[in-house]
Amino acid sequence: MLTCRIHAKDDLRIETDSEPAVAPGQVLIRLGAGGICGSDLHYYYEGRNGSFVIREPLVPGHEASGVVAKVGAGVTRVKPGDKIAVSPSQACGRCDYCREGREHLCRNMRFLGSASVYPHVQGMFAEYFVLGECQCYPVSGDVTLGELAFAEPLAVGLHAVNRAGDLMGKHVLVTGAGTIGCLTMMAARLKGASAVTASDVLDRPLETARAVGAARTVRGDRERGALASPQFDVAFEASGSLPALNACIAAVKRGGTIVQVGTLPHEPLPFVVNEIMAKELDFKGAFRWGIEFDWAVEYIASRRVDVGPLLSRQFPLERAVEAFALARDKTRSTKVQLVAA
Ligand SMILES: [Zn+2]
Ligand SMILES: [Zn+2]
Ligand lying nearest the CA atom of residue 100? 2
Average pLDDT, the chain: 96
Q: In the prediction, which pLDDT does 156 show?
A: 98
Question: What's the CA-to-centroid distance between 284 and ligand 2, angstroms?
Answer: 21
Split at pLDDT 50, 70, 90, the class of 111 is very high
- What type of residue sits at position 99? R
Q: In the prediction, which pLDDT does 267 show?
A: 80
Count the neighbouring beta carbons within 10 Å of the beta carbon of residue 328. 16
Per-residue pLDDT tens for 240-274?
999 999 999 999 999 999 999 998 887 888 877 89
Averaged pLDDT for residues 163-177: 98
Q: In the prediction, which pLDDT does 196 show?
A: 98
Count the neighbouring beta carbons within 10 Å of the beta carbon of residue 95. 16
The answer on pLDDT for 181 being more than 80 is yes
Radius of gyration from C-alpha coordinates of the chain: 20
Averaged pLDDT for residues 318-338: 98
Measure CA of the first residue to CA of the last residue in the chain; give whole Å: 10
Question: What's the CA-to-centroid distance between 102 and ligand 2, angstroms?
Answer: 8
Helix (H) or strand (E) holding 242: helix 242-251
The answer on pLDDT for 233 being more than 90 is yes
Burial of 84 (0-12, 13-18, 19+ CB in 10 A): buried
Who surrounds ion ligand 1 at CB < 5 A? Answer: 37
Contact at 8 Å (CB) between 132 and 141?
no
The answer on pLDDT for 327 being more than 90 is yes
Per-residue pLDDT tens for 136-162?
999 999 999 999 999 999 999 999 999
Ligand lying nearest the CA atom of residue 99? 2
- Number of helices (H) and strands (E) in the chain: give both, helices first: 10, 19
Question: What's the CA-to-centroid distance between 117 and ligand 2, angstroms?
Answer: 14
- What type of residue sits at position 163? R
Q: In the prediction, which pLDDT does 341 show?
A: 78
DSSP 27-83: EEEEEEEEE--HHHHHHHHHSEETTEE--S-B----EEEEEEEEE-TT--S--TT-E
Q: In the prediction, which pLDDT does 271 show?
A: 78
% of the chain exceeding 70 in pLDDT: 100
Question: What's the CA-to-centroid distance between 97 and ligand 2, angstroms?
Answer: 6
DSSP conformation class of 20: P
Q: In the prediction, which pLDDT does 266 show?
A: 75
Question: What's the CA-to-centroid distance between 239 and ligand 1, angstroms?
Answer: 13
CB proximity list for 95: less than 8 A, separation 6 or greater:
106, 107, 108
Per-residue pLDDT tens for 30-87?
999 999 999 999 999 999 988 899 999 999 999 999 999 999 999 999 999 999 999 9
Q: In the prediction, which pLDDT does 270 show?
A: 83
% of the chain exceeding 90 in pLDDT: 95
Per-residue pLDDT tens for 291-317?
999 999 999 999 999 999 999 999 999
Question: What's the CA-to-centroid distance between 130 and ligand 2, angstroms?
Answer: 21
Question: What's the CA-to-centroid distance between 64 and ligand 2, angstroms?
Answer: 23
Question: What's the CA-to-centroid distance between 23 and ligand 1, angstroms?
Answer: 28
DSSP conformation class of 313: E
Ligand lying nearest the CA atom of residue 103? 2
Give which of 151, 171, 155, 175 is closest to 163, Cα–Cα.
Answer: 155
Count the neighbouring beta carbons within 10 Å of the beta carbon of residue 265. 11
Q: In the prediction, which pLDDT does 128 show?
A: 98
